[in-house]
Structure 1
């Protein structure tokens, strides 16, 4: 037993659970915790220029590595500034931990107007996370940190929050050193359900596998299942790369849409099935749906014909074993998939200039490089045409689709993967949400190459106002800085590229330099072709 403060116990718990990086901004409420972090040699602290940046970097770290992404901010405005990042981590199922504070313990709930006070600070934090709690005394700290890690890492991974009042961070008590938390084991697949699933599959003629973020750690099993079934595999965002998208059975969404017309069995693995139910919004006659998902509430939210509540890898492995035991075989479908891919690739060439620029980025980015999208004309298009070769290498904001996500998140991706190339793509509007983090990239040498497609507008808003609202434009057009010059003013390399071939040369140079860089690509206002006919196709 050693006398330790609450701040020290929290820091020791992070270390015990393998956290090696914490993002954040120090502040008065957090000083005792900040100091505890400073005394932990195994933790790197990366301070950002905005709390939103800290949260997004923690998310990028977690989403790309599968490890815990941790950040710390002051309560009240600091927590609220990071709220968009917590929303993203929640929507995209990432293990992110937010450590924050509160006002003095004896003043909570009194409405005295203390520094950074919110009417219900813990309730606000709970509304943005899977689980959150307050440490009221150092004797609670180890147990509540253990519970935080257990909640975050068990079942469907999502962010958690932990707060302590200002005075409690510095209180001490005799406590043992924290130990690593053991998450709850995933439920084993139900044998009867597996048997029924195998029968469904053997009765199907044209099955399709849809993978989401829940399948990112099941790549070998999904690949083997696809081979056994000769079933094409598709993904929308989070599941890209679970089956390498140059595999003969992989179909990007535009090609998968054509196969969908005759699909009779949809096998969803770790996916909300957003592509089929929200994007495509058309179901083939007689379609059966089989789902494997660790979150049992998914079976209620979107009820399948058969649901198996288990981990993606466990469920797929048991299904493979059952099918092999039954002697299941299927005819080779690689030729059919190749024809669908070729036709879809040719059709998507109409989406210019995005398709050409994305083709160049894919050519230049190493096979094991990371691509971070952002809600933008190029980001939307990437989901349809940018092939990814391994899980977690396409980092997305999930269903939040929030501006300001891309560059900040990419910095966290690079911190987690320092030896890999990391490229982010943003529009001019979104990039300006987090431009201040160029200072963070420069200070810590975080070598992300940020490509900013500048069409002088919130492009999607502008197109909708033109096409749906009789060209009544409001708040759509933007006046921007010279992004390359702006980057250089931060001490970051700044480039411009006006054509895809210029981007090829500049991006190659920027990646080879292995330094933070911004590449501005100018696109005429209103010059982006709409990718939406491929995202919401019609029969």
Structure 2
């Protein structure tokens, strides 16, 4: 029995457990799309209004659920349009399968000017994925799909990409079991854990006056959060969570710390255990906290590249956190390194600094109070969103989504749509500024078409607010930051989306709370003016040039000296 290459592709997705796919059809994908139509009982198709949104949605889908997100577009401009979302998925370590067609196999690399041809699409895909493959014939499609999923689940989570010439999708081949496929080697799993290194790490932690755990987004990919909590509680070590690590430990836990609170505990730490984090400053190629003679570092990361310079580990373990953390915990002596009263004092120290940044802190508090614990919050690059990185309490894994190191303006709303598809009916709250919303405002159509439970909050100041603030601070003047916005109420109603406009934190809280029982999308506009900068509170070390009120006195002074 023969099948088309498109049918083999669809079969491979179903065989590997894919239930949802984000795509925009086009002529080079016709045979694949028809094959997916034939498998409509197995795979649901979500078609946004811009190719950029396919990869953003796939990224949000993975980050909300831990299940592979799949995006598919035409070659050339389709693949290029999807690049921003793919780059964000790469930065956020998301398991995303990116499928793109290619021009006719006989024209690849020839420069004939075929429809959607670009000079080096394979090179482009290689730069935005941890592994990519150009399928060399229709008989390779089934095996290539299986190989892609193997790469997705091996080593560090990151996107993988497949490109298939469109004539291979329409060709008929024998429907045989997939053969072992040759291709680029994937990132292998770490070798067996070094027992001697584990022993050295345990000795350092047991001998520490104040051990501190710093955790990044890598903690989520193997569901290692319970192991993290068990280790932290065994020795009473505070857990400082990076932006990507928010939710690894519930913020209700006394030992859970934001990066702002982390400044206080890092200032007194003598041993730091870094788990699943790059631990790199976002603007300079230096470690997130400077090396100090008395400070020792232990690193656990599945990617050996994140154990190397400019980091200076005393002990480095290339390992999956879910495997390494329990093995390390059982070697540690139970104790309470940080008293609960001290931990709560640090958290209060951080909170007092947040409360000064008004009105952003009031808006963040209103959002949190209006949302159930398990609702998903998608943060954006907006003035309220920056403060939310340290001010928004997170109570569970995969309920907070940020932009990762790409810092891709406008990513939030389409990412929230993908998260909503994966979330099983839970509400997703997406905040954005009027500037970032302009990137993907057309996706109101997608939210409405599929009845997605997304509450979109647009903070409208009529400007690229953060750029404006930096220009005023650095140069005393502003340029190219004013926006010409639509009437957001008319825009929402044009797409059939429920809308409300508010201008106070209290009103926002009421509108968000009411949206929790809505059947589909809701848009809320918040009028906001010039607000104070929150940048002096972000990250373990404040950004150079960022200034604000002086921090309160060291909450641990004299306690851990």
Query: What TM-score range do you get, normalising by the shorter chain?
Result: over 0.9
- Comparing 376-385 with 283-292, which one deviates more in the overlay? 283-292
The question of whether the paired residues in 2 share the 8 Å contact of 1:214 and 1:271 is answered with yes
Equivalent residue for 1:487, pick from 486, 492, 504:
492
Q: 2: CA distance between counterparts of 1:537 and 1:82?
A: 33
Match for residue 293 of structure 1?
A: 301
Equivalent residue for 1:385, pick from 349, 370, 391:
391
Match for residue 482 of structure 2?
A: 477
Q: 1: CA distance between counterparts of 2:246 and 2:306?
A: 20
1:367-378 matches, cutoff 5 A: 367-378=373-384
The question of whether the paired residues in 2 share the 8 Å contact of 1:231 and 1:333 is answered with no
User: What is the CA distance between 1:176 and its match in structure 2?
Assistant: 2.9
1:4-60 deviation line (CA, Å, top 9, x unaligned): 222111111111111100011000001011111111121000111000111100110
1:345-369 deviation line (CA, Å, top 9, x unaligned): 1121111211111101111110011
Q: 2: CA distance between counterparts of 1:27 and 1:396?
A: 31
The question of whether the paired residues in 1 share the 8 Å contact of 2:54 and 2:82 is answered with yes
Q: Assess, with a 3 A threshold, how the Cα gap between structure 1 residues 208 and 105 changes in structure 2: closer, same or farther.
A: same
SS in 1 for 2:250: coil
Equivalent residue for 2:533, pick from 523, 530, 537:
530
User: What is the CA distance between 1:178 and its match in structure 2?
Assistant: 5.6
Equivalent residue for 1:314, pick from 297, 319, 323:
323
Match for residue 519 of structure 1?
A: 524
Q: 2: CA distance between counterparts of 1:129 and 1:488?
A: 38
1:128-139 matches, cutoff 5 A: 128-139=128-139
Q: 2: CA distance between counterparts of 1:333 and 1:384?
A: 22
Q: Assess, with a 3 A threshold, how the Cα gap between structure 1 residues 514 and 184 changes in structure 2: closer, same or farther.
A: farther
Runs of 5+ unmatched residues, structure 2: 544-550, 552-561
Q: 1: CA distance between counterparts of 2:443 and 2:435?
A: 15
Q: Assess, with a 3 A threshold, how the Cα gap between structure 1 residues 274 and 393 changes in structure 2: closer, same or farther.
A: farther
Equivalent residue for 2:474, pick from 456, 468, 473:
468
User: What is the CA distance between 1:460 and its match in structure 2?
Assistant: 1.3
- Comparing 130-139 with 365-374, which one deviates more in the overlay? 130-139
- Comparing 138-147 with 351-360, which one deviates more in the overlay? 138-147
User: What is the CA distance between 1:281 and its match in structure 2?
Assistant: 4.9
SS in 2 for 1:314: helix
SS in 1 for 2:197: helix
1:332-411 matches, cutoff 5 A: 332-411=338-417
The question of whether the paired residues in 2 share the 8 Å contact of 1:237 and 1:394 is answered with no
Runs of 5+ unmatched residues, structure 1: none
User: What is the CA distance between 1:482 and its match in structure 2?
Assistant: 2.2
Q: 1: CA distance between counterparts of 2:37 and 2:10?
A: 9
SS in 1 for 2:247: coil
1:392-449 deviation line (CA, Å, top 9, x unaligned): 1101121011111100000000000132111001011001101001001111111200
1:244-323 matches, cutoff 5 A: 244-274=250-280, 281-301=289-309, 302-323=311-332
Q: 1: CA distance between counterparts of 2:189 and 2:316?
A: 19
1:272-309 deviation line (CA, Å, top 9, x unaligned): 11369869654555111101100011112434111100
Q: 2: CA distance between counterparts of 1:291 and 1:20?
A: 36
TM-score normalised to structure 1 length: 0.95
Match for residue 456 of structure 1?
A: 462
The question of whether the paired residues in 2 share the 8 Å contact of 1:294 and 1:310 is answered with yes
1:192 counterpart = 2:196: yes
The question of whether the paired residues in 1 share the 8 Å contact of 2:238 and 2:338 is answered with no
Match for residue 208 of structure 1?
A: 212
Q: 1: CA distance between counterparts of 2:438 and 2:414?
A: 11
Q: 2: CA distance between counterparts of 1:107 and 1:246?
A: 59
Q: 1: CA distance between counterparts of 2:205 and 2:280?
A: 22
Q: 2: CA distance between counterparts of 1:485 and 1:353?
A: 27
Count the aligned residue pairs: 532
Q: Assess, with a 3 A threshold, how the Cα gap between structure 1 residues 402 and 504 changes in structure 2: closer, same or farther.
A: same
Measured on the aligned residues, the alpha-carbon RMSD in Å equals 2.0
Q: 2: CA distance between counterparts of 1:187 and 1:317?
A: 17
